[in-house]
Amino acid sequence: MKLYRVVYERGGETKREGGKTPTEIKRHEHLFAALDITALWNGIAWIREDEDCTIVIIIEESKRVTLL
């Protein structure tokens, strides 16, 4: 198995102040253990299908993970 880090962004609160409407963007990071990138891609379907989420990056953190 390999260890992957998935970073995605989700929109937060929108505030009105002085004619401007900034939206807070929240960044989330999760670690996943998967056999390969295809298994990871299927495992993060809940992130991919959420219209409020944008995947920023997927990084392979470790090439070998042993589960006990």
Q: Tens digit of pLDDT for each residue in 24-52?
A: 788 999 999 999 999 999 999 999 999 88
- Report the pLDDT value the prediction gives residue 16, as an integer from 0 to 100: 75
- Report the pLDDT value the prediction gives residue 55, as an integer from 0 to 100: 95
Are the C-beta atoms of 27 and 55 separated by less than 8 Å?
no
User: d(Cα 52, Cα 49) in Å, to the nearest integer?
Assistant: 9
Domain-by-domain residue ranges, the chain?
2-62
Cβ-Cβ contacts under 8 Å for 9 (sequence gap 6 or more): 25, 26, 27, 28, 53, 54, 56
Q: What does DSSP assign to residue 54?
A: E
